Amino acid sequence: MSENISAHDLARSAASQLAELTGVPSHDVALVLGSGWGGAAELIGETVAEIPAADISGFTTSAVAGHAGTIRSIRVASAAGEPTRHALVLGARTHLYEGHGVRAVVHGVRTAAAAGARTLVLTNGCGGLNPEWAPGTPVLINDHINLTATSPLEGATFVDLTDLYATRLRALAREVDPSLAEGVYVQFRGPHYETPAEIQFARRIGGDLVGMSTALEAIAAREAGMEVLGISLITNLAAGISPAPLSHAEVLETGQAAAPRISALLADIVARLTP
């Protein structure tokens, strides 16, 4: 139990450092920007402060190309007459495969919750299992399957994960783009991509999207009482779905090509989020 307390204490002290460094005492919404999603921050609103994640307690610097290691506080562009809202944009995701443990993976989410955020938007780049979803397609996550064999929760913390990816927020996202498809996200540990046999397994157990993030973060967010929206960008067809081998270069290229559309989508969604 004392270990559990220290993970949350670390998040609370990170949140107070953030409040001090950004000058924004409390944030309303937090976003984790994954592969391909980095451009969205500019469109969400005016950046009030940008802080290297390494300056905040508990954050490890990410080694993955395409993952920005900064945390931004953004004043959300809202309609006239609406109260000003502040978004915390975590460009620095820690992946389980980096080997810093599951606490490090969810520290950003816990920090965002401690900073006041009641809504969390998790984005990622992923592999697609449906051949009709071309690379560059954004897909709403409607549920997940956690194949990491771990949990961010410590001790007898029995948390309900029904409607983890809030139906309400998915409906709100579809108001912005009615063409958005939905699917089940399967988190693997990585860092290797799957074998074609593992992708067939993921299909048979009900998966639509495969990746190396998000599920553990969503669990930690639910523990913290946040409402979660998850959106994946399909950056590649999963192994064996297309005959082409997978490459991180392809992932980055697809992300760049899709950036204008998905950034605008995300900004429109954030503008409509109400606590």
| Residues near ligand 8IG, by CB under 6 A | 35, 125-127, 188, 190, 193-194, 210-212, 235-236, 238, 246, 251
Peptide bond before 196: cis, by omega within 30 degrees of 0?
no
Helix (H/G/I), strand (E/B), else coil: 140: strand
d(CA 65, CA 18): 25
CB of 33 to ligand 8IG, least distance (A): 13
Q: Which residues contact 82 (CB under 8 A, 6 or more apart)?
A: none
Q: Which residues contact 209 (CB under 8 A, 6 or more apart)?
A: 126, 127, 128, 129, 139, 141, 183, 184, 185, 186, 232, 234
CB of 258 to ligand 8IG, least distance (A): 11
CB of 15 to ligand 8IG, least distance (A): 29
Catalytic option among 194, 198, 217, 223: 194
Q: What DSSP letter does each residue of 226-237 carry, written as one string?
A: -EEEEEEEEEEE
CB of 231 to ligand 8IG, least distance (A): 13
d(CA 191, CA 184): 20
111 vs 214, beta carbon nearer ligand 8IG: 214
Q: Verify whether residue 194 is a known catalytic residue.
A: yes
16 vs 130, beta carbon nearer ligand 8IG: 130
Which amino acid, 201?
F
> What burial class does residue 79 get, using C-beta atoms within 10 Å of its C-beta: 0-12 exposed, 13-18 middle, 19+ buried?
exposed
59 vs 188, beta carbon nearer ligand 8IG: 188
Contact by Cβ (8 Å): 28, 45: no
219 vs 273, beta carbon nearer ligand 8IG: 219
62 vs 235, beta carbon nearer ligand 8IG: 235
Active-site positions?
Answer: 194
